[in-house]
Structure 1
């Protein structure tokens, strides 16, 4: 059974999930570490992917999992993406709990 998220209707998405399944926990740890190190400033998904030099389609599912596990939360802040749209700024749940 694959634990790495993938689009069920897409064979290429499933193949990609299978290819990174072993590294998914490592990516998740890297995303959590980056967000924790950002402190109260937090990070958008775009900023996190850029900082870690990984694709957004690799970064975002790891962050989603961290939110599900209540390790990362919406800070209430918003910052513009490179495309000019507002994006959620994510912070460690520990930071938000101390705010």
Structure 2
């Protein structure tokens, strides 16, 4: 009974992390290209982390491009490896 609940909870958490990391990488790409969509995406990310109670992450979205690029790519890589490991363990 407890195992399916834990599997579902971990899948939801990894899904949220993966979506956040993906949006962070997209934000970096928008900022690199000086796109008009960079500011609205940053506002969406700010509201997303506030809704999860993680308002301290808003400072990450306002960082300069170089450190933000490194952090976002590293986060995406770690989350992708974590999702792959979770799928491997469940398989």
TM-score normalised by the chain length of structure 1: 0.34
Larger relative contact order (Cα-Cα within 8 Å, sequence gap ≥ 6): 2
Q: Which has the higher helix share?
A: 2
Q: Which has the higher strand share?
A: 1
| Rg comparison, structure with higher value | 2
